[in-house]
Structure 1
Amino acid sequence: MADLIKQSELKDRMKKIPEWELEKNQIERTFEFDDFVDAIDFVDRVAEVAEEEEHHPDIDIRYNKV
């Protein structure tokens, strides 16, 4: 498991990705698509990268929002 970064470093990094939010001990972002199929295609692409990186995010799917 990777080491956790310090809070000060995390805040600096979060400034570089303003579309993401820090919630408790995790970062979150909502992606919106035209329809459910596009949302699932996106999740499939995320899954491929997650497997390659051996990092498996929690993903919430709500119709066209991921």
Structure 2
Amino acid sequence: MSTLADEPLTHGDQTALEPAALESLTSNLDGWTINRSTDIPRIEKTFKFADFASALAFTNRVGELAEQENHHPALLTEWGKVTVSWWTHTLRGVHRNDVIMAARTERLA
């Protein structure tokens, strides 16, 4: 498990990660990819589940984590899968906090 999940979120530095740093940090997260299909890059992963109820329960766990940290992802819940996307809206890119939250999301699966 990534030790990124144990890092506290930072609130002072409000700079999006440079592409090389984003690639490096994301490479430490199993199955997470950088989505550049829009003008705002984000990190994403699709988690698989046996049924809709399990996918919905995972969505709710991620939602609880997001509320605790006041840092919220995009969540797409479908039958048997949930796609989680992290980025920082105000920065129009990915902050280190997004990578930390992705690592914490892994712990909830």
TM-score by length of 2: 0.57
Match of 2:78 in 1: 62
Instruction: Name stretches of at least 5 consecutive residues in structure 2 with no aligned partner.
Output: 1-10, 83-109
Indicate the SS of the match to 1:61. strand
Q: Distance in 2 between matches of 1:45 and 1:18?
A: 19
Indicate the SS of the match to 2:31. coil
Computed over aligned residues only, the root mean square deviation of the Cα atoms, in angstroms, reads 1.3
Q: 36, 42, 52: which is aligned to 1:26?
A: 42
Question: Equivalent pairs: percent with the same residue?
Answer: 33
1:1-66 counterparts in 2 under 5 A?
2-24=14-36, 25-66=41-82
Q: Distance in 2 between matches of 1:63 and 1:8?
A: 35
Q: Distance in 2 between matches of 1:44 and 1:61?
A: 10
- Alpha-carbon distance, 1:3 to partner: 2.2
Q: How many aligned residue pairs are there?
A: 66
- Alpha-carbon distance, 1:31 to partner: 0.4
Which runs of at least 4 in structure 1 moved beyond 4 Å after TM superposition? none
Q: Larger relative contact order (C-alpha < 8 A, sep ≥ 6)?
A: 2
Q: Distance in 2 between matches of 1:46 and 1:11?
A: 23
Greater strand share, structure number? 2
TM-score by length of 1: 0.90
